[in-house]
Amino acid sequence: MYCLRQSWAASRFETIGSVGAPLLQSVLPAALALTLRGLVNAVSDRTDGGDASISTWVFLSLTLSALLATTAALQAYFAERTVETLDHRLGVGVLEHASKLDFSYFEDPAFHDTLSLVRESPGKHVHDVLTKGLRGVASLVTIVSLLVVLAGIEARLILYLVPLSVPFMVHRWWLGRMRYVAQFEQSRSRRWVQYFSNQLMNGATVPETRALDASALFVDRADSRLGEIREANARVYRRQFASSMVFNILALALVHLALLQAADRAGTGDLTIGDVATFATAAVGMRSALDMLFNSVSSLRWHMANLDHLRAFFALPVAVGRSPAAVPRSPPPSAGRPVLVVDDVTFAYPAGGPILDGFSLEVAAGETVGIVGRNGSGKTTLVKLITGLYLPQQGSITVEGLDTSEAEVDEICRNLSIVFQTFGQYNATAGENIALGDWRRLLDDRTAVEAVAERAGLSDLIKDLPDGYDTLLGRQFGDVSLSGGQWQRFAIARAFAKDASLMILDEPTAALDPEAEFAVFRRFTELAEGRSTLLISHRFSTLALADRIVVLDEGRVIEEGTHEELLHLDGTYADLHGLFRGSGAGGSGASS
């Protein structure tokens, strides 16, 4: 019923066609067999001097044959249309549900194994569970109708085939399950093959892969994984082939035994020549119907197992209070209230110690707070907690009064503009790459996009592109590829494009050259005016712009003050500053 509901919701007309065509087709073989019987007997009667009408039987045979061919063509047509419609509907449904799931799912390899199966033509699984079940029913109708015909001629064939068919059908059902188990066990290997393929064919990874001379290694590992998949499938195919051969040989032997008995009875006058011809035609038709039934049973079991994964995916609970709102709303700002409050937050990843341990922080309206610490001190994890990707295991985080553990994701993010450490490089036009910062407002407002580009210092770069703001960026679909620093300048522009009360900059200039970094710094004060800013960086020239700097170590605040105060304190901050100055890095360092 689940599949029928999904198909009916996707397209009622195509569902009716998908159900009706095979059912109509199922009764036609028996009607054709009876027509052939009438034709042969009419020819025999005419030979004996009778006046039977041969043309009537021929016309009836033509009509039924044309109807059979038409229903077969309609069945294929409706199948293709229904699968496409279901793929569209369920594919969008998978994306929508995935967008509501807690971020922790996407860091679980087992979830990605499931996701790889769910994304692979979900509409086909729903459609085929429905149609394979119907074909099984249609095959049973065909078999029963042909058995009625055969029983009136040579009933012993039923006694021969039934004891053979039942265990074979059970075996094919088991094979369908076995095929699915093999496929599920291969999902991790298939993802590895995709990973190796990306390393060898992705423009971003090819240079390093070749510089390391690792191409042969990745090809060899992909070949090994594909070989394992092929051998696992071959075992299933061998069992399917062996069982099919045994059944087919035995079934054919029994059919011909029954045909011989029918022919002997015709020789004694118990049956007519038309009876024998009808028996032969019906027996062949029933063999075909049995094959269709067994194939439907095996395929049905396989698709049902895949469908179980799809239904389990849709049953995954979304985080409480995290259903995206069509028009997110925020509470009105309260005078004197901090924009960001992190209160006694503790967070740990599974099977690990705490990344943040009793961490507290407040950012006032219009204040710029810098955060610095050694790698692994919890800086990037803090960003993910503030944005609601993770939920604190202890304590609370509020952004403009919204508790991130309870508020909807869209409401939280409406108050945030962010440059992530791993910033996006979107295959979109230059204008769209900026407008994505606040796409509901800017996507159709070129004037506003150009104003943002001017303020962020991107206008000269965009003017030099072949089609200006309409230049499609990225090598996957366009002809223009940017440097890492240029991509990061677009990421910064996206952050400034959004009129958010809190801006988070996670290593905002890590990929910029000194000249571009200076240009961003020159505009920083103007661009951040009136906003609260959380600045995470190893670049001390950047941190010096902050009103206040917090030093993290093992998830705790160990120092706090201005740049000058922390240098005078001569603690961890001063040590890190001295290390970078001593390295000749000019105040820059590794990402957090």
Tens of pLDDT along 232-259?
Answer: 888 888 887 887 788 778 877 877 787 7
pLDDT over threshold 60, residue 23: yes
- Confidence band (pLDDT; 50, 70, 90) for 513? low
- Confidence band (pLDDT; 50, 70, 90) for 511? low
pLDDT score at 592? 37
Annotated domain spans of the chain: 2-314, 340-422+501-582, 426-481
pLDDT score at 447? 93
Of the two residues 208 and 39, the one the predictor is more confident about is: 39
Of the two residues 557 and 171, the one the predictor is more confident about is: 557
- CATH class given for the domain over 340-422+501-582: alpha beta
pLDDT score at 326? 38
Of the two residues 416 and 102, the one the predictor is more confident about is: 416
DSSP state of 325: P
pLDDT over threshold 60, residue 322: no
- Confidence band (pLDDT; 50, 70, 90) for 586? very low
The mean pLDDT value for 384-395 works out to: 88
Distance of CA 213 to CAs 192, 193, 197, 202, 218, Å?
19, 18, 15, 15, 10
- Confidence band (pLDDT; 50, 70, 90) for 379? confident
pLDDT score at 3? 65
Architecture, CATH, for domain 2-314: Up-down Bundle (1.20)
pLDDT score at 466? 92
pLDDT over threshold 70, residue 550: yes
Of the two residues 8 and 77, the one the predictor is more confident about is: 77
Sign of CA dihedral 560, 565, 569, 573: positive
In terms of average pLDDT, the best of 116-130, 176-190, 369-383, 516-530 is 369-383
pLDDT score at 590? 37
Q: Which of 153, 141, 149 is nearest to 290 (CA)?
A: 141
Tell how far CA 178 is from the center of its chain: 24
Q: What is the DSSP string of 454-495?
A: HHTT-HHHHHTSTTGGGPBBSTTTSSB---HHHHHHHHHHHH
pLDDT score at 205? 75
Of the two residues 132 and 92, the one the predictor is more confident about is: 92
**Residues 436/495, Cβ–Cβ less than 8 Å:** no
Pairing of strands 548-553, 532-536: unpaired
Kindly report the pTM of this predicted structure. Answer: 0.64
**Residues 348/355, Cβ–Cβ less than 8 Å:** yes
- Confidence band (pLDDT; 50, 70, 90) for 468? very high
The answer to whether 2-314 and 340-422+501-582 have equal CATH topology is no
Name every residue whose Cβ is closer than 8 Å to that of residue 377 and which is 6 or more positions away in sequence: 552, 553, 554, 555, 592
Name every residue whose Cβ is closer than 8 Å to that of residue 52 and which is 6 or more positions away in sequence: 41, 42, 43, 45, 46
Q: Which tokens is 141 given?
A: 């109708």
- Confidence band (pLDDT; 50, 70, 90) for 461? very high
pLDDT score at 134? 67
DSSP state of 333: P
Q: How far apart are the first and last CA of the chain?
A: 52
pLDDT score at 512? 65
Q: Which of 120-134, 210-224, 385-399, 552-566 has the lowest mean pLDDT?
A: 120-134
pLDDT over threshold 70, residue 517: no
* Cβ neighbours, 10 Å, residue 107: 13
Phi, psi of 345 (to 5 degrees): -85, 130
User: What is d(CA 21, CA 38) in angstroms, rounded to the nearest whole number?
Assistant: 26
pLDDT score at 589? 38
pLDDT over threshold 60, residue 50: no
User: What is d(CA 417, CA 533) in angstroms, rounded to the nearest whole number?
Assistant: 9
pLDDT over threshold 70, residue 319: no
Half-sphere exposure of 383 (CA within 13 A, CB side): 24
Element (H, E) at 304: helix 273-314
pLDDT, tens digit (0-9, with 9 covering 90-100), for 131-151 = 677 667 777 777 777 777 777
Q: Is 558 helix (H, G, I), strand (E, B) or coil?
A: strand
Q: Which of 533, 557, 547 is nearest to 343 (CA)?
A: 557
